[in-house]
Amino acid sequence: MESTGHLLFVSTHREHGHRLLIDVTYTLERDGEDWVATCPEIGASSFGDTPDEAHEALTEAVGLLLNEAQDGGYLPSYLRDRNVRVRALPAEQASEAWSALEPALPL
């Protein structure tokens, strides 16, 4: 049985303070005794003994890859090249999204 969903990240621009919502998809499926979670846009996958473990591991892996792109200064092109959905958060929604979404990626 396969299921799909979204991983959401919030990124804040260092200089301007603009906040972006980064939205990537994932699939979760059973592979023998393990559960495998895959994010096709980023090209990352992780596994776990339970669906929750696989999901948590994938969220961490995608977050690390996004942080690496962010720290390297190429996050915009990294997201664009992978057709990742990104949208600006209006200022009044930014603080709500920042506190509600995990993980957040400060720039």
Residues ≥6 apart with Cβ < 8 Å to 104 = 9, 10, 11, 12, 98
Q: Is the pTM of this model over 0.75?
A: yes
pLDDT tens-place string over residues 56-75: 999 999 999 988 888 888 88
Burial of 19 (0-12, 13-18, 19+ CB in 10 A): buried
pLDDT tens-place string over residues 71-101: 888 888 999 999 998 988 776 555 554 433 3
| Beta bridge mates, 28 | 3, 37
